Amino acid sequence: MTKKTRLDLMLDQVKCGKREITFDVDGYTKKQVARVRAAAKARGLHISGTNRWILVRDLSCG
């Protein structure tokens, strides 16, 4: 079994209509931003934002 990363644990907390997460990505490298976006997309989560922040939420409940 693979140990979950801090990112995995944070994204596991996103619940439809209950919890969303905003990442302040100012200062992140392009690779780090891509990693956050890919991990959220793999879970089927909605991603929006700019080059300074990313909002991750679950829109599957309706």
Is the pLDDT reported for residue 1 higher than 80? no
How confident is residue 12, by pLDDT bands cut at 50, 70 and 90?
A: very high
Taking CB atoms within 8 Å and a gap of at least 24, the contacts of 43-47 are 43/11, 43/14, 45/11, 45/14
Of residues 7, 41, 38, the one with CA closest to residue 23: 7
Is the pLDDT reported for residue 5 higher than 80? yes
Of residues 10, 31, 30, 12, the one with CA closest to residue 22: 10
Q: Give the whole-angstrom CA distance, residue 52 versus residue 9.
A: 22
- Specify the pTM: 0.85
Is residue 1 in some structural domain? no
Average pLDDT for residues 17-22, to the nearest whole number? 94
Is residue 45 in some structural domain? yes
| Structural domain count of the chain | 1
Is residue 62 in some structural domain? no
Share of the chain above pLDDT 90, in %: 87
* Residue 9: partners with Cβ closer than 8 Å, 6 or more residues away: none
